[in-house]
Amino acid sequence: MRENGDAVVEVLDLIKDYRPGFGLRRKRILHGVSFSVQRGEIYGFVGPNGAGKTTTLKALMGLIQASGGQARILGCDVSENDFREHIGFLPENPYFYGYLTAREILDFYARLSGLDGQRRCRRVPELLEWVGLGEASESRLRTFSKGMLQRVGIAQALVHDPEVVFLDEPMSGLDPIGRKEIRDVILRLKSEGKTVFMNTHILSDVETICDRVAIIVEGRIRYEGRIEDFLHEDDLMSDVVLSYLPPELGEILEAKFGARVRGVGGRIELRVREKQVSQLLRLGLEAGAEVVSVTPHRVSLEKIFLEAVSTSSSHLIRNESARKGERS
Amino acid sequence: MIRMRHVWPIATNTVREAIRNKVLYALLFFAVGVIGVAVVIASLSYVEGQRIIQDIGLASIRLFSLGIAVFVGVGLIHGEVERRTIYTILSKPLSRSEFLVGKYLGLLMTVWLQLACMMIAFVAVSLATGAPLSGGHVAALGLLGMELVVIVALATFFSAFTSPLLASLFTLGIWGAGHLSRDLYALGQQSGNESFAGASTWMYRLLPDLEAFNVSVQAVHGLPIATSELTLPILYAVGYAVALLIAAGWIFQGRDLK
Amino acid sequence: MRNDLKPNQPLSEAQRPDDFRSRKAIRRAWRRRGLAGLAFCCALALVGVVQAQIPPLTRADRGEAFVPDPSIIERITLGFDAVLSDYYWLVAIQAVGGSAAVDANAGGHVGQLIDVVTTLNPWVGHPYRFAAVWLTESEENVRTANRLLERGINHHPEEWRNRFYLGFNLFYYLMEYESAAEQIQAASGLPGAPAYLPRLVARLRSETAEIDVAEAFLIELVQGTDDPVLQEGYRAGLDEIEIERKARFLDEARKIYRDRRGQDIATVESLREGPNPVLVGLPSPEPDSLPVALSRQSRWLLDDEQDEIVSSFYGSRYRLHFDAVSRAKANGWAAARQEGTLHAEERGSL
């Protein structure tokens, strides 16, 4: 674990075993997970589906009990209650009482969070406005769309103005506009000095907003560190798409930049290092080609992610073949 | 530690959920209907019609209160876990025990509210037919309210760790056994078999003695009801419910919410 | 509110306006609906026809009337004792409903029912007296009624009527005059008891004029109940006493006839026949209160077996106690009355 005086979330060697049913053997979901989240940062907890992201978050929220290890939030053990006045939680696909209106449910959560009547009267409409539900505040939640429910979820997590916010897959199932809005909310929280911990499997979100990430695969942390650490300048690539290219030029470019070239119809697509982009464009334009698009491509996180997943699955395959060998 | 500022919002919200639940209105409507139909049934008898009206009225209040308590109670905790509404609630600074107590009190208030509605119907029918009303009726309905304190606690207890179907079977089973426990005890005493007598005594101590809450016959016939017949059951109900809720809290505390 | 978060969904078949569909499709839809309607009507008709084939017999009709053991049902009422008691009470009323008399079997059934009623809720009032009224067809029945009345006395020690009924049963059916006198004496000291009860006690103790005692009981019983069915029963008892008084009058006349003529009467009519008849006319063999329309054309008959004068209206003389022979005969008379023939009349005229 990283030595740091201002760690807001500290997780050390967290273990979780499940017994899938009576008489069945215990199954280990988390194999000693350790990481820490610093004050004021956006922390991305990344992993494929079933890697143990939600299990870790549930253990942090006290919804499940860890079988071993420690987890502390704001210096308190997660089995306690009082530190929760300072945290907010948005579960994955949040569900709320459908018979309440948006205003009623926020008022309910505000009361649970210990806000007095005066502060509730001020905070609830303000927050509804903030998440863009001002007009829908008197509608029953059962009439809400998924995106609206997600915003209710964000609002309830923030109702008591917490220091740390935990988000489980905040962007999943949303349309592009919804995702953009949630992204903006998260960045705004950071600008207000809050700490944000988010579970996600959408790497582009992580790349755009997270300060630090941990990659969890099959219940083990594979990598933890700052985004910049992954993104060495050498690794910054861009995809360039050109059209109306003289056929011979493709080969020349391929040879010169050592890039992978793919032909799509009358277009070709090349992946080159970021610093070579201007040189490539100049050459292409001189030869009479037209530039269709230039997309910066950060290869590193995805690469590391895929690497992490593939090593563990090969590990898995090895294990299985070994077991098969034993049996035969 | 149970803090009312955490319990109260959960309780009031549970009441609000019930008030907005149409099924409960249907049950309530039906109960009031049965109390009304008692007048027709009683007319089959050419004597003591008023007594029969009140017998049926009190019995239907008892039956429907039990039905509502079990019907709503068994899904109380399970529903929150199943719908995952509990995730966000428990992320707030309240303990699971406070949540449990809040749900319990909310359901109890709901059931009492329904009891009050049925009481109004009962009083109206009694007045309309000229059946006598006395302090005994207040005592009978009050003790029924205390029986519900225990029934709702049972439903909450089972709801804390099993599915609604099982919880309703268990609750109804214990309700029935609770009405038989005195006979079981008497049977054990008469049997002459020491180990059976011991076992039946234990069962009698463990099961809720629900017959203690039944003074409707005395009420309808205007028979005297001793003060101890009121105070002791009230204390008994409170003690039994608190014990059940503490046990439910222990179980619920250790549960993983998947 | 933004509503762009809801994707447009294609309209389902039902939502789509009709002009989107071809005529063929519309016809098909109507045909489907018609077939469904036809099937629905067929199903209803089937239910109706089949149900008409099933005789709507209740368990009582089939002779399977089941009355639970009171000591068992008492334990399993789960707090609903009062209402279950009411249920069996209503069953008991139905069991006697409409029938003017209850035969010994049905009486036993009613006895079981009232036993359940009063076990589940011993604080009921009327059912005890109900049992006393209906359980009169055999000594066993009367004893059952008395047991139930004693239970009523235990739970309503202040109620004089239960003791009065018990006294009546002891006197009227069982001829236990001393026990009857004790009950009536106890009743006379209770609130609301009529003032003449002490006199009744005295008469019971003197063991005379039993018919007067019975009459006094019955008059009190008629006045003491609002129940029209019971009142009718008591009035029937009073009618029987009226006929008994007339029969006793004819007995006296028969004695005089024998003294005068030295021989017994051939038929009851002999009393007013011949020269110097004993009687100018015979009293009506039917109760005076009986409306003409209900007259059964009864006659006075001479019962050879018992050597008594009887009215064909009852077929036997009034008895305060159970007598298997006369009871069986009375039942025979009753059956004969229904067939419209009077065998005994023929026998009597022999």
Structural domains present in chain A: 7-230 (3.40.50.300), 233-298 (3.30.70.980)
Higher model confidence: residue A202 or residue C28? Answer: C28
Q: What is the rounded CA–CA span in Å between residue A60 and residue A149?
A: 23
Mutate to test the interface with B, among C72, C81, C83 (most CBs of B within 10 A): C83
Chains that touch B (3 or more CB pairs under 8 A): A, C
- Parallel, antiparallel, or unpaired: how do β-strands A87-90 and A164-168 relate? parallel
Please write the tens of the pLDDT for every residue from B199-237: 888 888 899 999 899 888 888 888 888 888 889 999 999
Indicate the pairing of strand A42-46 with strand A195-200: parallel
Rounded Cα distance, C265 and B14, in Å: 94
Distances (CA, A) of C48 to C43, C44, C45, C52: 9, 6, 5, 6
Q: Residues of B numbered 12-41 whose beta carbons fall under 8 angstroms of chain C's beta carbons: which are they? A: 41
- Selected for mutation to probe chain B from C76, C121, C124 (highest B CB count within 10 Å) is C124
Q: Residue C2 pLDDT > 80, yes or no?
A: no
Strand pairing of A195-200 and A164-168?
Answer: parallel
User: Of all residues in chain A, what percent carry a pLDDT higher than 70?
Assistant: 87
C1 touches chain A (CB under 8 A): yes
pLDDT digits (tens, 9 = 90+) for C307-342: 888 888 887 777 655 544 444 444 544 454 445 444
* Residue-wise pLDDT tens digits, A94-125: 888 888 999 999 999 999 988 888 999 999 99
The Cα of A113 is separated from the nearest Cα of chain B by a number of Å equal to 6
Q: How confident is the model at residue C207 (pLDDT cuts 50, 70, 90)?
A: low
Cα separation of the two ends of chain C: 109
Average pLDDT over residues B64-72: 90
pLDDT at A234: 58
pLDDT tens across C87-124, in order? 999 888 887 765 545 565 667 788 889 999 999 999 99
- In angstroms and rounded to an integer, the radius of gyration of the C-alpha atoms of chain C is 33
CB contact under 8 A, A146 and C5: yes
CB contact under 8 A, C79 and B62: yes
The per-residue DSSP string of C279-345 comes to -SSPPPSS-TTS-GGG-----EEEETTTTEEEETTTSS---SS--HHHHHHHHHHHHHHHHT--HHH
Q: Give the pLDDT of residue C325.
A: 42
Does the beta carbon of C8 lie under 8 angstroms from any beta carbon of chain A? Answer: no
Write out the two tokens for B156: 């909450």
A neighbours by CB contacts (3+ pairs under 8 Å): B, C
pLDDT (0 to 100) of residue B147:
95
Question: C23 at the A interface (CB within 8 A)?
Answer: no
Contact A147 C5 (CB under 8 A): yes
Percent of residues, chain C, with pLDDT higher than 90: 13
The confidence band for A1, taking pLDDT boundaries of 50, 70 and 90, is very low
A67-98 pLDDT, tens digit per residue, is: 888 899 998 888 888 788 899 999 988 888 88
Query: Looking at this predicted complex, what is its ipTM?
Result: 0.85
**DSSP SS3 for A218:** coil
CB proximity C269 to B under 8 Å: no
What is the per-residue pLDDT across A163-199, written as a single tens digit (0 to 9) for each?
Answer: 999 999 888 878 888 888 888 889 989 999 999 999 9
User: Is the minimum CB–CB distance between A129 and chain C shorter than 8 Å?
Assistant: no
For C287-310, what is the mean pLDDT?
A: 81
| Candidate from B41, B45, B221 with C-beta closest to C123 | B221
B10 touches chain A (CB under 8 A): yes
What pLDDT does residue A319 have? 43
